[in-house]
Chains A and B, each alone.
Chain A
């Protein structure tokens, strides 16, 4: 069975600084990987996804993620964070293409300080 680990429970970053959120997955075959963002009391919004091809994936709101098979990682990055980026971020993996049964990590809470 697939699993996702997000090692950082909480990260604090200054506004304008760069950001990297870590995600490690465990899955035997080609994973289908996602990053979602959740604002307090809200549902999940898809930031980006990786299925195949270019390992650097661009998403919405200026986010990108890089798939590294050798490290079983799919880290999320943003060169300059804004106060509105404060939220909970979830990495997720799906077993099959066309299979939307997602396995989520426990999330990383991002706090932005002025």
Chain B
């Protein structure tokens, strides 16, 4: 149990729709990172938020966006969903280099 909670656990969306995934970070962790894990692959870094500001971004298009709130919880938004966006989305909260991962949200785009 890492103390990082993601919702929903599973989600099915239609191509072209928009989706919002949520993450509640572990108490005291001011940094949240999001990763995309396609089937059979390792997680890929999407972006990171530190104290409500974006603090680095991976190789993902602008239709992937995020927010971090004053309580350090976070959202990942994906617009204009594509079939290839189907994946497990992982949130990790961290402090002092150790990242604690949530269970993930399984997104299926049909």
Q: CB within 8 Å of B: which residues of A?
A: 4, 32, 36, 41-46, 49, 51, 90, 92, 94, 97-107
Contacts and interface: CB of A to CB of B under 8 A. Distances in A.
Interface of B: 2, 4, 31, 33, 35, 40-45, 48, 56, 58, 90, 92, 94, 96-104, 106
- B interface SS class: strand
Contacts of A100: 31, 33, 48, 92, 94, 97-99
A102 B43 contact: yes
Contact of B97 (A42, A45, A99, A107): A99
Given A42-B104, A99-B97, A100-B33, 16 more contacts: A43-B4, A43-B102, A44-B43, A45-B2, A49-B97, A49-B98, A90-B42, A90-B43, A97-B97, A100-B48, A100-B98, A102-B35, A102-B92, A103-B45, A104-B43, A107-B42
- List the 4 closest A-B pairs by CB distance, nearest first: A104-B42, A43-B101, A44-B101, A100-B94
